[in-house]
Amino acid sequence: MPFIANTDEQRRAMLATVGVSSLDDLFADIPPAYRLAGLNLPEGLSESEAYDRLHELSRRNAVQLVCFLGGGFYDHFIPAAVDAIASRSEFYTAYTPYQPEASQGTLQAIFEYQSAICRLTGLEVANASLYDGGTALYEAAMMALRITGRNKILLDSGVNPIYRNMLHGYTRNLSIEFSEIETAHGQSDRARIAAALDTETAAIILQNPNFFGAVDDFSDIVELAHARGCLALVSAYPIALGLLKCPGRMGADIVTGEGQSLGLPLSFGGPYLGFMATRRQHVRRMPGRLVGLTEDRLGRRSFVLALQAREQHIRREKATSNICTNEALCALRAVTYLALLGKQGLAEVAALCARKAEYAKTRLGAIPGVAVKKSAPTFNEFTLELPRDAGEVVSRLIDKGFAAGFPLGRYYRGMENYLLVAVTEKRTREEIGRFAEALESVL
């Protein structure tokens, strides 16, 4: 039997100590009518058989496609050192660091992660991480409702449609009023926002770069929001923060985002990493774990989970959130990645992504019938207008070896001919060239 150490002889000795004659006797509290004779499951496999099965399943997935698919989840390169650190079982087989003396490694790594997220977002306090970018945005919205005591939320339609769906799903049982604000020319529509922002509004939720890839400076919107006592929430793409003005500088009150691009594999949707940062004055309203700096009895620098009184295991039904865990191992990956890249490296990766995207725009935009959608400036993702249905084009390009991008018609009515194309530092000039040829050939 795999993973069980005791021998039959040891089991007999232990049963004698317990004072029962068989293993089945240990389950005497289960009423006989509900006791199970057995499960209808296959027989167990050996390790090599299990490996073969998984290996075969892994080969039935098309990971060989050249990836121009983004939509908030990107094919960035992961340095080997990130995997090496995250593979240390001292980190991955530990529990939540409730016992600080036995968990300084995890605690310090999270403290450094919190610090890196603050520096990235330009805010003062970051939590130890949340499940993903979408749940982080939902938690930020709930936090804004608690802080303002108001009930209405404005949602820019440039926010990832998956996250907007999640926000609506989570709040269906609560009486929260959502208004979606359509973008104008792919960018946040100042006039519509100004008209909708009132003194009943708890928060406006924005995204930078937005789902169409457009970059923005929300300073004016934030100012307007603050003038009406409303908080500004920004969902950000962390790689872009190597280059772009950070939401903290724009005045944002809560910044969240998906940390997948910081050294986490795509892994078919998870595990990912929701980051969240805010102003110091809101720290007690923030959900999730928080590691604080302190000292031990001898005055040595130490780390410990702080402000736990906000959390469910103490506050129960009055907690700021029901969240019990964070994504500690993913946060470890992120802080390792950010440390490896460093100040210059992150800026360079960001610039390289943006430059390659501009190159892809010139190549793809030159194809007859294809137009780069005229909009605000973009970072590493942009929208192409095709002469026919983008979903169909994408399907044909799969046969030619490309994950060509995301057809916007899936989430935006009237945009059936539009394709969202993402370019990361991994895409070579040659791949971009072949992609342009393939696209031209299927139109």
- Under the binding rule (CB under 8 A), the answer on residue 221 touching another protein is no
Q: Return d(Cα 213, Cα 346) in angstroms, integer.
A: 19
CB nearer to another protein: give 215 or 234. 215
Whole-number minimum distance, CB 155 to another protein, in Å? Answer: 14
Among 66, 76, 120, 282, binds another protein (CB under 8 A): 120
Among 146, 162, 434, 440, binds another protein (CB under 8 A): 162
Rg (CA), the chain: 25
Q: Return d(Cα 135, Cα 122) in angstroms, integer.
A: 21
- Under the binding rule (CB under 8 A), the answer on residue 403 touching another protein is yes
Q: Return d(Cα 441, Cα 443) in angstroms, integer.
A: 6
- Under the binding rule (CB under 8 A), the answer on residue 6 touching another protein is yes
- Binding to another protein (CB under 8 A) within 190-209 occurs at none
Among 147, 276, 291, 421, binds another protein (CB under 8 A): 291
**Which of 246, 243, 245 is closest to 117 using CA atoms?**
246
Torsion over CA of 219, 220, 223 and 227, rounded to 10 degrees? -170
- Binding to another protein (CB under 8 A) within 370-389 occurs at 377-379
Whole-number minimum distance, CB 240 to another protein, in Å? Answer: 10
- Under the binding rule (CB under 8 A), the answer on residue 358 touching another protein is yes
- Under the binding rule (CB under 8 A), the answer on residue 69 touching another protein is yes
- Under the binding rule (CB under 8 A), the answer on residue 245 touching another protein is yes
Whole-number minimum distance, CB 142 to another protein, in Å? Answer: 8
- Under the binding rule (CB under 8 A), the answer on residue 330 touching another protein is yes
CB nearer to another protein: give 196 or 307. 307
The type of residue at 285 is R
Among 66, 231, 262, 352, binds another protein (CB under 8 A): 352
Q: Return d(Cα 274, Cα 127) in angstroms, integer.
A: 10
Q: Which SS3 state, helix, strand or coil, does residue 29 take?
A: coil
Among 177, 200, 296, 437, binds another protein (CB under 8 A): 296
Query: What x-and-dash track marks residues 20-59 binding another protein by CB under 8 A?
Result: x--x--xxxxxx-xxxx-xxxxxxxxxx--xx-xxxxxxx
How far, CA to CA in Å, does 193 sit from each of 19, 206, 377? 72, 11, 20
- Binding to another protein (CB under 8 A) within 305-324 occurs at 306-307, 311-319, 321-324
- Under the binding rule (CB under 8 A), the answer on residue 8 touching another protein is no
- Under the binding rule (CB under 8 A), the answer on residue 271 touching another protein is yes
How far, CA to CA in Å, does 42 sit from each of 4, 38, 39, 45? 19, 11, 9, 9
CB nearer to another protein: give 229 or 345. 345
Do the beta carbons of residue 202 and residue 231 sit within 8 Å? yes
- Under the binding rule (CB under 8 A), the answer on residue 413 touching another protein is no
CB nearer to another protein: give 229 or 416. 416
**Which of 349, 351, 370 is closest to 361 using CA atoms?**
370
Which among 186-194, 198-206, 225-233, 303-311 is the span making contact with another protein, rule CB under 8 A? 303-311
Which among 113-121, 148-156, 199-207, 222-230 is the span making contact with another protein, rule CB under 8 A? 113-121
- Under the binding rule (CB under 8 A), the answer on residue 266 touching another protein is yes
Among 292, 369, 441, 443, binds another protein (CB under 8 A): 292
Q: Return d(Cα 129, Cα 238) in angstroms, integer.
A: 14
CB nearer to another protein: give 196 or 245. 245
Total binding residues for another protein by CB under 8 A?
205
Backbone angles phi, psi at 314, to 5 degrees: -105, -50
> What residues contact 219, with CB distance under 8 A and at least 6 apart?
249, 250, 251
Tokens 């004698």: give the residue.
16
DSSP state of 413: T
Which among 143-151, 190-198, 229-237, 292-300 is the span making contact with another protein, rule CB under 8 A? 292-300
- Binding to another protein (CB under 8 A) within 222-241 occurs at 241
- Interstrand relation of 254-258 and 231-236 (parallel, antiparallel or unpaired): parallel
Among 156, 381, 425, 431, binds another protein (CB under 8 A): 425
Q: Return d(Cα 238, Cα 246) in angstroms, integer.
A: 9
Give the number of C-alpha atoms closer than 13 A to the C-alpha of residue 411, restricted to the C-beta side.
17
> What residues contact 412, with CB distance under 8 A and at least 6 apart?
157, 161, 418
> What residues contact 398, with CB distance under 8 A and at least 6 apart?
62, 65, 404
Whole-number minimum distance, CB 140 to another protein, in Å? Answer: 14
Which among 145-153, 183-191, 229-237, 330-338 is the span making contact with another protein, rule CB under 8 A? 330-338
Both tokens assigned to 235: 């969902």
